[in-house]
Amino acid sequence: MIAIGIDIGGTSIKGAAVDSNGRVYEKFSLPFIKGEPGEITIRKLAETVKEYIGAQKLDNKIVGIGIGCPGTLDVEKGIVNYSNNLCWNELHVADIFKEILPYPVRLTNDANAASLGEAKFGAGKSYETIIMLTLGTGVGGGIIINGKLFEGNQGKGGELGHTVLVVDGEPCTCGRKGCFEAYSSATALIRETKKAMLANKRSLMWKVSPEIELVGGRVVFEAAAQGDKSAQKVLDTYIKYLGEGILNYCNIFRPNVIVLSGGIANAGDALFDPLNQYIKERNYGYQSTPEVKVVPAELGYDSGKIGAAALFFE
Amino acid sequence: MIAIGIDIGGTSIKGAAVDSNGRVYEKFSLPFIKGEPGEITIRKLAETVKEYIGAQKLDNKIVGIGIGCPGTLDVEKGIVNYSNNLCWNELHVADIFKEILPYPVRLTNDANAASLGEAKFGAGKSYETIIMLTLGTGVGGGIIINGKLFEGNQGKGGELGHTVLVVDGEPCTCGRKGCFEAYSSATALIRETKKAMLANKRSLMWKVSPEIELVGGRVVFEAAAQGDKSAQKVLDTYIKYLGEGILNYCNIFRPNVIVLSGGIANAGDALFDPLNQYIKERNYGYQSTPEVKVVPAELGYDSGKIGAAALFFE
C-alpha cells in the first residue's frame, strides 16, 4: 500500500510517497509563499502531487493523500478553520484536492501527523499506546491509542501543550495562563535562559552566547555541561516542569512510552537522563504501576510526511 | 445479553444482573467486613453470586461477571495489586471467582466502572467520547473513547484526579503536590470552607453548620445562596480550579461531554451554571473549536454496577 504524505509548514511544503512499511520514496517540495491566497497554494500543491504521481508511475497504487497542517482543523470535513502560521481561514483543502486528483484526502494537525509517524515506524513502533510531545516554539502533542491516532471531537483534541500546570502562571499564546507550553517549549527555555543571563553577568552562558538576542535552546545545556551553576538551575527548573507535565500524561494515559521531538529533544542524555530520573522517582501508585520511559523521536523531519501517509495505514 | 455487575466498596459490596439495555435486575448486597482476609471476602462474594444466579434462573444467560473495585488493579490478570480502602494486597480476584463460577470475570477500577455505566446508559449515552469525573473524597476519572473504556497499560491509566494543576501546590494523597484532586475533591472544598469559617466568625457558614468538624460539601452552597460573601469566595475559587482542570481535559480529549458525579455534583445549577460559564469563556482555539458541556451524572449509585456489567457489552 502506498499513500502520499504531505507536511505543510510556514516556510515550505514537503511531501513524498510512503509505503505501508514506512519506506519513503523520492521527495518533493515547494516553497510556502507568504501572502498568497490559500486556495492558490493548495491548487499548486495538488498539481505538484499530480505531476509527482505521474513521474513516479504510481497512478494505480496510491490509496490516498494525507496532509499534516498547523492550526485548527475540521478533520471530518477536510477544512483548515484557522491557521495563524499560514494565515489561512476556512480553507476547504480536501475539496480543492478532489477537483484535481481522484484520491481520498485526509487532513490532520501537523503534531498529530508526526506522532502517528513515530508511533508506526519510529520510536513508538513496538508499542500500543504512545504520547508524543514536540518541544518547539510551542508544545504540540499526539495521542496514539492501540496504534490509532486519537483526535477528539472534529479532530480538535490532542492539544497537549495547552493544559494548565500552574493556575495563574506564565501567560500562554492560547489565552490561558500557566499552560505546559509556557514552561516546556523551546521558547520558555530561552525566556528563562535570558532571565538568568541578565541576573548573572558572569555566567558562562554569556561565553556560549555573547549576543543575548541570539540565545537558543542549547545555551543552558552547553553552559551547564561546563559547570555553570546559573545554567544548571535553569535546566533543573525546566526539567522539573517538563517532568510534572509528563507525569500528568503518564497518570492520564499510562502509555507504553512517551516520545519527545523538536529541537530540545536533540539535547540527548543531558536531557533524557535527569528527566527519566525525575519521572521514575514520582511514579504513581506504589510498585505496581508500570513505569513510563521517555525517549527521543527517531524519524527527524520525515515524521510528518510518514505520519500523514500513515493516516491510510491504520 | 445479561452480565453480573458488582461494585466493591469499603462498607458494602453490591451487585445485580444487568442486561445489554442497561436494565437492572433484582439487587444483592453483602457487608464489607474490615479486617477479613480478602480471599475469604471474594469467596463469599462468589458464592453469593452463584446463589443469586440460581435464584434468578439466569445460569445459561450470563455472559460474564464484571467487578468495579477501588485501588490499583492489574485488569489484564484480574488482580487487585493494592487497595488502601479495602486493605487488599495482590489479591487474585478473577482466579478465585473462576474456582466457583464458570463465567469470564473482568475487573476494572471503580471510577472506570461508574464512567462506563454513565457513558453507555446515563448522561453520556448519546455520545462517543466522554470524560467522567467523580468529585468525592478524592477525584476519580474515567475515559470513554468511541464508546469503549480506555484504561491504559495494565489498566492503570485514567487517574484523572492525579494531574498537577499547581506545581508545588497543595499536598496530594498520591505523594505529588498540587494535583487536581487536591483542589476539586469534596475534601478540598471542605478544607477551604473550614479555613474561610475560621477566618470569618460572622460568616453565615457558621449558621449553616455550627459545628466546624461536621462541615460538609454543601455548606458553601447554602451560605452563598443566602448571600454570604466568604462562602461565595470559596465557591468561586473552587469553580475556578475545577474549571481549569476540566478545561485541561477539554483540550486533551475534546470530548463530546464531561460528566460529573459524586456528592458535589448534586449541587445542581449552583455548580453547573457558573462552571459551564467559566469553561465557555475559556474555550480553546477561536470560534471553530466545539464547546464541551459539563453535565451531572444520571444513574446515581447504580452506575458502578451497570458499568461493571457493561464491560461485557462493549
pLDDT digits (tens, 9 = 90+) for A64-78: 999 999 988 999 999
Mean pLDDT calculated for residue range B71-98:
94
Q: Any bridge partners for residue A30, and if so which? A: A13
Q: Which amino acid is at B107?
A: L
Could you name the CATH architecture of A126-297?
2-Layer Sandwich (3.30)
In this prediction, residue B288 carries a pLDDT of 80
Provide the grid cell at B77. 490478570
Q: pLDDT tens-digit profile of A101-148? A: 999 999 999 999 999 999 999 999 999 999 999 999 999 999 999 999
Ramachandran assignment for A239, one of left (phi > 0), alpha (psi -120 to 50 degrees), beta (any other) = alpha
Contact residues, chain B, for A151 at CB < 8 Å: 254
Contact residues, chain B, for A165 at CB < 8 Å: 164-165, 167
Contact residues, chain B, for A129 at CB < 8 Å: 152-153, 157
Say how many CB pairs under 8 Å bridge A and B: 143
Q: A254 and B152 in contact by Cβ < 8 A?
A: yes
Q: B251 and A175 in contact by Cβ < 8 A?
A: no
A55 versus A10: the higher-pLDDT residue is A55
Q: B163 and A248 in contact by Cβ < 8 A?
A: yes
Q: A240 and B167 in contact by Cβ < 8 A?
A: yes
Sign of the CA dihedral with A100 first, then A106, A108, and A111 last:
negative
Helix (H, G, I), strand (E, B) or coil at B304: helix
- Could you give phi then psi for residue A129, rounded to 5 degrees? -115, 120
pTM: 0.95
Q: pLDDT tens-digit profile of A166-207? A: 999 999 989 999 999 999 999 999 999 999 999 999 999 999
Closest CA–CA distance from residue A164 to any residue of chain B (Å):
6
Q: B143 and A252 in contact by Cβ < 8 A?
A: yes
To probe the interface with A, which of B69, B81, B112, B156 has the most A CB atoms within 10 Å? B156
Q: pLDDT tens-digit profile of A224-235? A: 999 999 999 999
Q: Any bridge partners for residue A12, and if so which? A: A31
To probe the interface with B, which of A159, A181, A291, A293 has the most B CB atoms within 10 Å? A159
Q: Which residue has the cell 470552607?
A: B193
Q: A284 and B159 in contact by Cβ < 8 A?
A: yes
Q: A165 pLDDT exceeds 70?
A: yes
Q: How far apart are the first and last CA of chain B?
A: 11
Pinpoint the alpha helices (H) of B86-151: 93-100, 110-121
Closest CA–CA distance from residue A256 to any residue of chain B (Å):
6
Kindly identify which residue of chain B lies nearest to residue A158, measuring between CA atoms.
B252
Q: B254 and A153 in contact by Cβ < 8 A?
A: yes
Q: Determine how β-strand B257-261 pairs with β-strand B293-296.
A: parallel
Q: A45 pLDDT exceeds 80?
A: yes
Helices (H) and strands (E) in chain A, counts: 10, 13
Task: Please give the helix or strand (H or E) that residue A43 lies within, else none.
Answer: helix A38-55
Q: Any bridge partners for residue B171, and if so which? A: B177
Q: A86 pLDDT exceeds 90?
A: yes
User: Residue A26: which pLDDT band, with cuts at 50, 70 and 90?
Assistant: very high
Question: Can you give the residue ranges of every domain in chain B?
Answer: 2-120+302-310, 126-297
Minimal Cβ distance to B285: which of A156, A289, A290 = A156
User: Residue B84: which pLDDT band, with cuts at 50, 70 and 90?
Assistant: confident
Q: B244 and A167 in contact by Cβ < 8 A?
A: yes
CB A294 within 8 A of CB A272: yes
- The fold for domain A2-120+302-310 equals Nucleotidyltransferase; domain 5 (3.30.420)
User: Residue B286: which pLDDT band, with cuts at 50, 70 and 90?
Assistant: low
Tell me the pLDDT of chain A averaged across its residues.
Answer: 96
Spatial separation of the C-alpha atoms in residues B8 and B11, rounded to whole Å: 8
Interhelix angle for B303-310 vs B110-121, to 10°? 90
Q: Which of B151, B149, B131 is nearest to B141 (CA)?
A: B131
Supply angle C-alpha A171, A156, A158, rounded to 5: 70
Q: B269 pLDDT exceeds 80?
A: yes
Spatial separation of the C-alpha atoms in residues B220 and B233, rounded to whole Å: 9
User: Residue B81: which pLDDT band, with cuts at 50, 70 and 90?
Assistant: very high
Q: A314 pLDDT exceeds 90?
A: no
Closest CA–CA distance from residue A184 to any residue of chain B (Å):
13
Q: A151 pLDDT exceeds 90?
A: yes
Q: Which of B181, B148, B202 is nearest to B312 (CA)?
A: B148
Minimal Cβ distance to B286: which of A72, A157, A289 = A72
Kindly identify which residue of chain B lies nearest to residue A246, measuring between CA atoms.
B163
Distance of CA B263 to the CA centre of its chain: 10
Q: B157 and A240 in contact by Cβ < 8 A?
A: no
Task: Look up the ipTM and state it.
Answer: 0.94
Contact residues, chain A, for B175 at CB < 8 Å: 282
Contact residues, chain B, for A286 at CB < 8 Å: 72, 81-82
Spatial separation of the C-alpha atoms in residues B156 and B289, rounded to whole Å: 30
Contact residues, chain A, for B129 at CB < 8 Å: 152-153, 157
Q: B286 and A81 in contact by Cβ < 8 A?
A: yes
User: Residue A286: which pLDDT band, with cuts at 50, 70 and 90?
Assistant: low
Q: pLDDT tens-digit profile of B189-219? A: 999 999 999 999 999 999 999 999 999 999 9
Spatial separation of the C-alpha atoms in residues A131 and A119, rounded to whole Å: 9
Closest CA–CA distance from residue B252 to any residue of chain A (Å):
5
CB A75 within 8 A of CB A106: yes
Kindly identify which residue of chain A lies nearest to residue B143, measuring between CA atoms.
A252
Q: pLDDT tens-digit profile of A236-275? A: 999 999 999 999 999 999 999 999 999 999 999 999 999 9
User: Residue B285: which pLDDT band, with cuts at 50, 70 and 90?
Assistant: confident
- Could you give phi then psi for residue A151, rounded to 5 degrees? -120, -10
Q: A80 pLDDT exceeds 80?
A: yes
In this prediction, residue A84 carries a pLDDT of 85
Q: B152 pLDDT exceeds 70?
A: yes
Provide the grid cell at B206. 457558621
CATH topology match: B2-120+302-310 vs B126-297? yes
